[in-house]
Chains A and B, each alone.
Chain A
């Protein structure tokens, strides 16, 4: 492993669990512990805990914070209450997305964002580029200050109950609860990337190894397992959550990605508004669609071409993997908008051959 890859506070814990470690976005992270399929099924049936400490956290404070953040993102932060978060996009006027992120409000002058690990520096520079110079907004990059766990699955709240946080169960989605676990201050957010019930928990780095091990211990009666990035990807793909670098990048617009609901065009101004207005007028040329393949034929992979019945290239795969709950392979890709709806015949590059598939309804899996 290259020496300049970063490690979270849980690296030693992952080694003790015999995790298979890979390099991801400049970090050494567990891709699996017991196996991707077992971990995936366990999150859907019981509960899993993920180390997502590699993600970034930026804090924004001051009287100008709300106006500044609202001018940077596509969704409407004026609708966000205290101790609430909201899914958002950082969009450009060139028709691309800088990142997808969750923006949280603690109170009117205290906000923070959670961003993708691979985009920490890029996002920080993007915020800095537009930050008002009049002192009305203070920005702090606290990415290295916190560890972050995701606790996901139908039994997640049962585990939280056993950890002494019974009130977590009555949290509405996208809320913040500041509380303690074994006397350690933690910030619990009712968010997740798996399609299951659960939370993400911010803890300080020095107690992260203790809490990780405690949660695994206390969660045992509920069948908890540690879950790696491999299952994190198959879980989000089954429920069709976008992944930056796949469905989203600096060439994809919110409309193309099917994220219309994350854009509030009635907001006065925000980065990307002019582009999105023009593109809505002229129409999009591609959109995310999906299909399934019987597992006995294999899996379509990212970047594989999509063809129409005449053999013309009409798009490409953005994500493809085996979906353990469906026992089939699934894939998402960009294709013409009229093809991206269910019931259309397309051909995809599968190990060098053109393979016929039919577009299907999304998401692939629903609880």
Chain B
């Protein structure tokens, strides 16, 4: 609270003090309220810190090995965050996609904060968005190779560490976009990890490196380092 203390002083001094106080208030307001894009780096309702190759060479699959060091939210009853790999499944980037990874936050069995869980999801033409929880125990500082591969007939397989965990159907081939890293739905998140061992499946064979990948961190919320083509670190 700004108050005023008028001092019985020689003329002009009280005026200068009031003017200085008002100027400081205005300056503080400017710093706090009028430069949000540069100063706050807020996640908003959704933000990412990832390596992203879009548009990518047309491909039928991708592998991202993700090692999550930390993944937690302040209120697991209403908040979510992800350590994830995405594969676009049409020729227009991420209009449709498949994703798999680790999710923390809202667990829909009436509980909160039951820890992290594996998940996969897809968004398909006429199929909407669907999310699935395949089970298994999540470990931090552990490599998980998340593979998404086209099997033909508009069906993609979703594998984790070489084991199948599901299939996305009625999802067209092929992909021209891939992404791996962090996603959060709120500012209050602790998340860090590494997306490495990045591979693509082109013309019937696997090869390393997402050739022209770059960093996708549009909100500036995550700290990114490494090489987005092969080995990218993210943290908040």
Task: Please determine whether chains A and B interact with each other in the same assembly.
Answer: no
A interface residues with partner B (beta carbon < 8 Å): none
